[in-house]
Amino acid sequence: MTMSRRQFIKIGAAGVGSAALASGLGTRWWGLDGDPTPDPRTDGDRVVASYCELCFWGCGVLAHVKEGRVTKITGNPAHPLSRGMLCPRGVGGTGLLYDPDRLKRPLLRRTKRGEDLFEEVSWDDALGRVAEGLERVRRQHGPEALALFTHGSGGVWFKQFMKAWGSPNIGAPSYAQCRGPREAAFQLTFGTPLGSPEPLDIGNARCITLIGSHLGENMHNTQVQELAEALGKGAQLVVVDPRFSVAASKARYWLPIKPGTDIALLQAWTHVLLAERLHDAEYLAAHAIGLDELRAHVAETTPEWAGPITGLDPRLIRDSARLIGASRPASMIHPGRHTVWYGDDTQRERSMAILVALLGNWGRRGGYLKQDKFPLAGYPYAGAPPPPSRPKVDRPKGGLYPLANEVLANGLCDATRPGQSLYDLKAWLVYGCNLVQAMPDRPQLLEAIQKLDLLVAVDVLPAEICGWADVVLPEATYLERDDDAWNGPWRRPFIAVRQAAVPAMYDSKPGWWIVKELAGKVGLADHFPWTDAREFVKTRLAVKGQSWETLSSTGVLLGPEIPTCEEEGAELTFETESGKIELFSKELADLDFDPLPVYRPQEEGPPGTFRLLSGRSPLHSFGRTVNNRLLAEPYPENEVWLNADAAATLPGFEARALAHGERVVLVNQDGVRSTPVKVKLTQRIRTDCVFMVHGWGQTARGQRYAYGRGASDALLTSRVKVDPIMGGTGMNVNFVRFERAVEHA
Amino acid sequence: MSRRYAMAVDTRRCVGCNACVISCKTENDLPSGAFRDWIVTEARGQFPDLTLQIRSERCNHCAETPCVAACPTGASHVAAGGTVLVNRRKCTGCKACMVACPYGARSVHPDGHVDKCTFCLHRVERGQSPACVETCPTRSLTFGDLADPGSGVARLVAHRPHQVLQPEAGTRPFVFFLT
């Protein structure tokens, strides 16, 4: 119906109810159109199910698409990890998709490495240059001289490329720079690393103990959902953290521990549990070995012993131990995730694993569950590529780090500096991980990079690592590409679909396409017989008659229910050498490591300095989201947390005390200086340490929003203490002093 | 009895993640720099005797509405279920309502009119929850009809200790903070 204004007025004057008629007719006459409900109309014409890539958790999302644009992203109620709810990053995915700074076309470096001057080229030219460089490396140094650093779901294609190419050197900073010590410790104790997502039944726990983990600020969606659920049901929280974290604020007991003394606290807790017979004797008799050795080991480690070491009141240690013990078996010691702190991290995680065992929490409801993967068949390849002829090169000469159960990314960096390992790495493929922020000891990283014959970076944004690359390949975002199905372990096995909601913008391409094209240029096309990611997934599903249509429309396929704990009939089995939980580790003893964890004091910083600690904001995933304008609005930059009382007596600030919100420069023990960063003066942290959210202080000019905002904890981590058991790089061993930032006009 | 929309915000569950803030922005297509809800984190005490309250705040959809009283054009009005809305066609952007509101719950949209939380009435009318409620990973937010004693929000407000913001302002807010 069309109607001129004149006609409209006539009708209105004729006495027909104006409010009923007026809506949508465009009148601006006050009072004539009533008060309509404002509707932003952001619901999609199409809603595409997929899973998120803003962090590694992989929550199920629904992308609303209207007129070719993703208007909003909501949680997929059918997806077991999101259950219809998303964290801010998941909702903020459009901030990545429509980031004006995205890589738009392939880039070739034109000047010296690190000078960040590039030329836009075609995909054919870019991949031709990569192929040429790779072929040269293969001719001169063998295929194993290529390493892949990877983070994120698209990495699966690049791993497949590495297999076809013939190199075993596939690493991720998410191991030795993050969860590695935990994996080694739980493997030693229970015979199984924890992996991701962790098998934790937080929702049914009666007591949850966090040791340095700041769940809630660390926004692993399902875990945070369950934490709130548990609190809602009356579960108690015990939080060990030098900082009054959000979780600490909800805790029955907050233990503001002196950084680096956790093992002493854990030994004291172990002492109390055993001395007061709060442990699960029956469970241990059936499933564990080494209880007598453990009992003897902690005979003297009383709360009174640990008090002066940890800076905690012995009564607080004892009371919290009693709560933890009284709540068993549903008393969870959360294993944490970012666990590379002091170089003795495997031993700290072992202490935690031992507590898990004492509480009978492994394999029980409210504890560590049995998980499984969905029965998805592999792609029916005609044959497997031959295995690489040389071993992985991530371990230095001399057989160090014997219990690393994944590749060490820092080891790959080391092996790039000539003569450090069995053979030298000459080329890097870096997929979706900004090594410049992910790796400690930046000078050594950059030195390794300068030794390379070829560095190829695949990314969505011009991250810092791209500035060091010879070739930069722009990948399409997760909202613009198909990928392999997500198939992680879970208590209810399932797979989730990754499918493009909108076509790829600019000249960006999905990872599968990049790999397939590259393979064609280096004579490996036979190893990539599938046409695209969708056909790849469909073919895998077809092997067992699973439905692509259901997966594609609902976002997930659920597998059969499995018993996840003893209460559901799951049997407790342990893949340790003894077949039991190993409280006392013969494996460690045989390697000349402490078979039971021993507290050893950490080195202190020089006077006037503070131990540098880092962590997460719920709005950001490492440095990956700091250029996302949507997420930056509530959290525009990081701050350095400093105890307000410590600030009042800060050396160098006698004339004028440091004020809240002022900008400071942090200088570490090696003279490394941060970019200016705001100081947050607060009572919420001890006086001997400072805290920063990781990922800021980025130096890539192409990320115009993030450039120069906040400061980088990674840059200040010029020193690490390497875990001798598994090679993790302990990072909380750096100390900073404060300088007032010089104001520039 | 007529509906009375209200929200309960559970400060014991909330971790202040800002999912409510971002989902509001995308659901309502808010311009850069504008918010209809926000997180307030209030720390009290001296180390180590501290408390922290985290609140997801928004318009309180008050029963006594100084914003509506202050509006010279009738743009600010009380709509279905007591929801306080702004009719952008009637709004001249004079900001009288912003001065009158004790909660800073209103801002000026770049198009010139005043903008604020609508309790996502467009969703509620379709039987959905407000966007912030739907996405909240900790289920800290409960929206519903306070006039219906069987509703989730009515039961929470009846059984849990709670506060409203600035009760002394006499506005009788309908956003309740469970403590």
Clarify whether residues A319 and A278 are in a common domain: yes
> Could you give the ipTM of this predicted complex?
0.97
CA distance to A53, A76, A88, A556, per residue, from A58 (Å): 6, 11, 14, 12
Q: Quick check: B11 contacting A, CB < 8 Å?
A: no
Give the mean pLDDT of A400-418: 93
Whether residues A572 and A623 fall in one domain: no
Residue A193 pLDDT: 97
Q: Are strands A721-722 and A610-615 parallel, antiparallel or unpaired?
A: unpaired
Residue A131 confidence (pLDDT) above 80: yes
Q: What are phi and psi of A423, to 5 degrees?
A: -150, 165
Classify residue A201: in a domain, yes or no: yes
Residue B57: pLDDT band with limits 50, 70, 90: very high
CB–CB of A529/A164 below 8 Å? no
From the CA of B22, how many Å to the nearest CA of chain A?
6
Model pLDDT, residue A227:
98
Say if CB A211 and CB A354 are below 8 A apart: no
Q: Looking at beta carbons, which residues of chain A come within 8 Å of B79?
A: 35, 37
Long-range CB contacts for residues A236-239, cutoff 8 Å, separation at least 24: A236/A206, A236/A207, A236/A208, A236/A323, A236/A327, A237/A207, A237/A208, A237/A209, A237/A210, A238/A207, A238/A208, A238/A209, A238/A210, A238/A320, A238/A323, A238/A324, A239/A209, A239/A210
Interface test with B, best of A25, A27, A28, A35 (most B CBs within 10 A): A35
Domain count across chain A: 3
CATH of the domain at A651: 2.40.40.20
Band of the pLDDT at A113, cuts 50, 70, 90?
confident
Q: Given pLDDT bands bounded at 50, 70 and 90, which one contains residue A333?
A: very high
Note whether A683 contacts B45, CB cutoff 8 Å.
yes
Residues A680, A584 share a domain: no
C-alpha R_g of chain B: 16
Q: Are residues A323 and A194 in the same domain?
A: yes
Instruction: Report, as an integer, the average pLDDT of A163-167.
Output: 97
SS3 A475: strand
Q: Do B32 and A633 touch (CB under 8 A)?
A: yes
**Do B122 and A37 lie within an 8 Å CB cutoff?**
yes
pLDDT of A692-711, one tens digit each?
999 999 999 999 999 999 99
Using pLDDT thresholds of 50, 70 and 90, give the confidence band for residue A27. very low
Q: Residues A354, A216: one domain?
A: yes
Average pLDDT over residues A635-659: 95
Mean pLDDT computed over every residue of chain B: 97
Helix, strand, or coil (residue A655): coil
**How far apart are alpha carbons A409 and A175 in whole angstroms?**
8
Distances in Å between the Cα of A641 and the Cα atoms of A537, A738, B51, B96 are 47, 12, 17, 39
How much is the pLDDT for A742? 84
Asked if residue A467 is part of any domain, the answer here is no
CA pair distance A558, A551, nearest whole angstrom? 9
- The confidence score (pLDDT) of residue A18 equals 39
Q: Closest approach of chain A CAs to the CA of B19, in angstroms?
A: 4
Tokens of A362: 């492994």
For A546-555, the pLDDT digits (tens) are 999 999 999 9
pLDDT surpasses 50 at A244: yes
- Residue B1: the pLDDT is 60
pLDDT by residue (tens digit) across A348-381? Answer: 999 999 999 999 999 999 999 999 999 999 999 9
Q: B-chain residues within 8 Å CB-CB of A686?
A: 47
A199 and A285 share one domain: yes
| A744: confidence class by pLDDT, cuts 50, 70, 90 | low
The rounded percent of chain A whose pLDDT value lies above 70 is 95
Nearest to B50 among A35, A36, A244 (CB): A244
B contact residues 145-164, partner A, Cβ 8 Å cutoff: none
Q: Give pLDDT tens digits for A491-505.
A: 999 999 999 999 999
Q: What is the mean pLDDT of residues A244-252?
A: 98
Query: Does residue A104 lie within any of the structural domains?
Result: no
Mean per-residue pLDDT, A334-356 = 98
SS3 for A615?
strand
Bridge partners, residue A692, by sequence: A614, A640
What ranges do the domains of chain B cover? 5-178
In this structure, are A706 and A571 located in the same domain? Answer: no
For residues A640 and A577, membership in a common domain is answered with: no
Q: Check CB contact of B35 with chain A, cutoff 8 Å.
A: yes
Which pLDDT score is estimated for A14? Answer: 36
Neighbours of A19 (CB within 10 A): 12
Residue A713's pLDDT is what? 97
Contact call for A88 and B17, based on CB within 8 A: yes
Q: What CATH code is assigned to B5-178?
A: 3.30.70.20
Q: Which of A7-11, A32-36, A441-445, B162-166 has the highest mean pLDDT?
A: B162-166
The mean pLDDT of B34-48, rounded to a whole number, is: 97
Quick: pLDDT tens for B126-179. 999 999 999 999 999 999 999 999 999 999 999 999 999 999 999 999 999 999
Judged against a pLDDT cut of 90, whether residue A8 lies above it is answered with: no
Mean pLDDT value of segment B80-105: 97
The boundaries of the domain holding residue A722 are: 610-740
> Which tens digit of pLDDT belongs to each residue from A73-103?
999 999 999 999 999 999 999 999 999 999 9
The pLDDT value given to residue A290: 98
Residue A6 pLDDT more than 80?
no
For residue A379, is it within any domain? no
Query: How many pairs of residues across A and B have Cβ atoms under 8 Å apart?
Result: 165
| DSSP E strands, A461-603 | 471-474, 494-496, 556-558, 581-582
CA–CA gap between residue A526 and residue A535 (Å, rounded): 16
Q: A674 and A578 in one domain?
A: no
* B72 min Cα distance to partner chain A (Å): 12
- Residue ranges of the alpha helices (H) in A331-450? 345-358, 409-414, 435-438, 442-450
Of A27-31, A108-112, A733-737, the range with the highest mean pLDDT is A733-737
pLDDT recorded at residue A26 = 44
**pLDDT mean over A160-171:** 97
State residue A33's pLDDT score.
63
Are β-strands A331-333 and A721-722 bridged in parallel, bridged antiparallel, or unpaired? Answer: unpaired
Mean pLDDT for B58-86 is 97
**Alpha-carbon distance values, A252 to A261, A359, A729, B139 (Å):** 21, 19, 32, 21
Confidence (pLDDT) at A10: 34
DSSP symbols for B108-129? E-TTSSEE---TTHHHHTTTPP
Chain B CB contacts of A94 under 8 Å are 26
- Co-location of A275 and A184 in the same domain: yes
Identify the CATH number of the domain in which residue A579 sits: 3.40.228.10
CB contact under 8 A, A246 and B16: yes
Looking at residue A17, its pLDDT comes to: 37
Q: Quick one: A443 exposed, middle or buried, by C-beta within 10 A (0-12, 13-18, 19+)?
A: exposed
Average pLDDT over residues B17-38: 97
CB contact under 8 A, B88 and A683: no
Say whether B89 and A216 touch across the interface (CB within 8 A). no
Mean pLDDT, all residues of chain A: 94
Could you report the per-residue pLDDT of A446-466, keeping only the tens digit for each? 999 999 999 999 999 999 999
Residue A212 lies in a domain: yes
Say yes or no to pLDDT of A515 above 80: yes
Q: What share of chain B is helix, strand, coil (3-state, %, to 5)?
A: 25, 25, 50
The C-alpha angle A597, A175, A384, rounded to 5 degrees, equals: 125
Q: Of the candidates A271, A273, A239, A243, which has an alpha carbon nearest to the alpha carbon of residue A255?
A: A239
Confidence check: pLDDT of A11 > 70: no
Furthest C-alpha separation in chain B: 52
In this structure, the number of other CB atoms found within 10 A of the CB of residue A497 comes to 27
